Structure 1
Amino acid sequence: MRYDKGRKDASRSRIMEVASHRFRGDGIAASGLASIMSDAGMTNGAFYPHFQSKADLVRESVASALEAQSQQLQDVLASGGLELALAMYLSPEHRDHPQTGCASAALLPEIARQPPETRAFYTERLLTLVRQLAKDLPPGIRDPEGAALGVFAALIGALQLSRAVEGTELSDRILAAGADAARTLAQPRQKVEAS
């Protein structure tokens, strides 16, 4: 039985959506194809007309999640600037729902173990996010891209730590400290006067 292209595209999108949630929520290694396909409402055999391997699904799912994050970042920066972006990224809601959140914070150790093609896709998408943020940093920063890299590192690290610790009070303190660190990194440096 043949299906039209629209149905095949919809099936592919559904597989990627489920996989993206599973990968970010449970991890790549812990997310088997059988459970992904079951959650998508399809049989295991329906996977292979869409993807050659799990590695292909990982690459495309992570790329799609990062593209969506890029669009969201663009919208947030346009509507509320860096402060709103920090508040949304380092929020208890984001911390408590990794399956719908930042792919980097959820998956970095596993992405580092993926094939070179996946890491290349990831690098390309990360640099897009960094350059987006760099354009929205205050004027006077000597190396806006370097500052944006530092901000992302602070945000991702703070979110990962906040998810790892036991207890909401410490977790909330980590989120606040991460936001403070990101603000500091996003400010122009004062020149030190020679005495």
Structure 2
Amino acid sequence: MRYEKGRKDASRSRIMEVATQRFRGDGIAASGLASIMSDAGLTNGAFYPHFPSKAALVRECVAAALEGQSGQIAQALASGGLATAVDAYLSAQHRDNPGTGCASAALLPEIAREQPETRQLYTERLMTLVRQVSAALPPHTSDPEAVAFGIFATLIGALQLARAVEGADLSDRILAAGADAARSMAQPRGGAGQEPAETGVTIAAKTERER
């Protein structure tokens, strides 16, 4: 049976929407094609006219997820700068909804085991995100891409830790500590005639000394 193009495109979009949420929420290996197609309201046989393999579906879902994240970062940077982007990333809402959150935090160990084509695509999309953040750093930042890598590593690691531990209080503390560390990396560094920027940690230490 042949379907009009609009219906085929809608089915493909539905498969990707369901698969992206399942991959991020349950993991790639734990998400079978049968369950994805069932959730999408389609038969198993309807998969292959759209994707030649599960690996191809994973690749396209990862690409779409990171492109969406790029748009979210751009919006956050435009509305409130890096601090807003950091706070949005290390929020309780993001922590509690991995199915609609950052693909890196949810899938990095599995992406590392994917085919070279998927890892290459991930690398390209990651570099787009890194360049977005590096462009938003203070002027005269030394090696802004290296700083941006550090910020991403801190954000992703903090989010993964916050999701892994038992207990809301500890999880919230990890989110707060990660946000403080990421914001401190984004501050201008001290130079000739310039005082180093104060972070939450340095401010607390200074207050303690003044007591």
| TM-score range for the pair, normalised by the shorter chain length | over 0.9
Could you tell me how far apart the structure 2 residues matched to 1:134 and 1:7 are?
41
Counterparts of residues 153-172 of structure 1 (less than 5 Å): 153-172=153-172
Structure 1 partner of 2:189 = 189
Q: CA RMSD in A?
A: 1.1
SS in 1 for 2:123: helix
Does residue 16 of structure 2 align to residue 20 of structure 1? no
Could you tell me how far apart the structure 2 residues matched to 1:27 and 1:90 are?
21
SS in 2 for 1:177: helix
Aligned-residue sequence identity (percent) comes to 75
Does residue 61 of structure 2 align to residue 86 of structure 1? no
Could you tell me how far apart the structure 1 residues matched to 2:191 and 2:55 are?
48
Structure 2 partner of 1:126 = 126
Query: Which of structures 1 and 2 has the bigger CA Rg?
Result: 2
Q: CA deviation at 1:189?
A: 2.3
SS in 2 for 1:140: coil
> TM (normalized to structure 2)?
0.89
Structure 2 partner of 1:36 = 36
Q: CA deviation at 1:138?
A: 1.4
Deviation per CA, 1:115-161, whole angstroms, max 9, x where unpaired?
00000000000000000111111112111111111000000000000
Counterparts of residues 42-191 of structure 1 (less than 5 Å): 42-191=42-191
For the 8 Å contact 1:142–1:188, the answer to whether it is kept is: no
Structure 1 partner of 2:208 = none
Could you tell me how far apart the structure 2 residues matched to 1:149 and 1:42 are?
40
Could you tell me how far apart the structure 2 residues matched to 1:21 and 1:143 are?
35
Amino acid at match of 2:97: H
Question: Structure 1: which 5+ runs fail to align?
Answer: none
Could you tell me how far apart the structure 2 residues matched to 1:157 and 1:100 are?
18
For the 8 Å contact 1:161–1:174, the answer to whether it is kept is: yes
Q: CA deviation at 1:3?
A: 0.8
Q: Which runs of 4+ in 1 moved over 3 A?
A: none
Deviation per CA, 1:10-31, whole angstroms, max 9, x where unpaired?
1111100000000000000000
State the aligned residue count.
193
